[in-house]
């Protein structure tokens, strides 16, 4: 039985893909919880087709947040200049407005800001900040770089 060039190429691709997936699996098994959370965030963005203009920084920051007259407490797991991820089991609708209050390390005063829900899943909710001007964007950038 003779193999076509296409069949041979598919076998090579399949074996290369399997090798890559094995290496990824081994790397994930040896990763810390924070590294796994960062990878999950990247993969979720990729899955949802989100393209970030600013990188996220992993963190674990307590946050009080409110939406639609309901108040909650959770934990920020990663943050960037234009948004953050809150670990929570609460469900929110995309586009829902949310008010956040939290303290970043090395900051004496709590920060209060508003944003909107971009997405949510079983692990938590992605929030995009309302940044009406460049000054506020630079303010956030300086705070996040200090993390």
What's the pLDDT tens digit per position in 119-138? 888 889 999 988 765 656 67
> Distance (Å, rounded) from C-alpha 125 to C-alpha 17?
32
**Segments forming the whole domain that contains residue 9:** 5-46
| Number of domains composing the chain | 2
Q: In this structure, are residues 78 and 40 in contact, taking their beta carbons and an 8 Å threshold? A: no
Residues 125 and 108 in one domain: yes
**C-alpha of 25 from chain center:** 20
* Residue 98 pLDDT greater than 90, yes or no: yes
Q: Show the tokens assigned to 112.
A: 């209060």
Residues 82 and 35 in one domain: no
The pLDDT value given to residue 121: 87
What are the phi and psi torsion angles at 37 (to 5°)?
A: -65, -40
- Angle at alpha carbon of residue 46, lines to 43 and 50, rounded to 5°: 125
Q: Report percent pLDDT > 70 for the chain.
A: 74
Structure confidence at residue 57 as a pLDDT band (50, 70, 90):
confident
* Residue 11 pLDDT greater than 80, yes or no: no
Residues 41 and 59 in one domain: no
Residues 65 and 26 in one domain: no
Residues 11 and 59 in one domain: no
Regarding predicted confidence, which is higher, 21 or 64? 64
Q: What is the DSSP string of 21-46?
A: HHHHHHHHHTS-HHHHHHHHHHHHHH
Residues 19 and 58 in one domain: no
> Distance (Å, rounded) from C-alpha 124 to C-alpha 75?
10
Neighbours of 65 (CB within 10 A): 22
pTM for the model: 0.60
The pLDDT value given to residue 47: 64
The gap between the terminal CA atoms of the chain, to the nearest Å, is 62
* Residue 114 pLDDT greater than 60, yes or no: yes
Residues 41 and 92 in one domain: no
The pLDDT value given to residue 53: 63
| Domain of residue 68, CATH code | 2.40.10.220
């Amino acid at each position: 039985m003779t193999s076509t060039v296409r069949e041979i190429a598919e076998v090579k691709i399949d074996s290369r893909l399997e090798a890559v997936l094995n290496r990824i699996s081994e790397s994930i098994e040896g990763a810390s919880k924070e590294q796994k959370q960062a990878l999950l965030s990247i993969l979720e963005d990729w899955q949802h087709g989100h393209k970030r203009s600013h990188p996220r920084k992993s963190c674990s920051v307590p946050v009080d947040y409110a939406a639609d007259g309901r108040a909650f407490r959770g934990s920020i797991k990663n943050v960037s200049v234009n948004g953050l991820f809150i670990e929570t089991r609460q469900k929110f609708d995309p586009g829902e407005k949310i008010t956040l209050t939290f303290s970043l390390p090395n900051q004496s005063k709590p920060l209060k800001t508003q944003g909107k829900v971009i997405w949510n899943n079983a692990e938590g909710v992605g929030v995009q900040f309302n940044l009406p001007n460049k000054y506020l964007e630079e303010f956030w950038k300086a705070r996040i770089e200090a993390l």
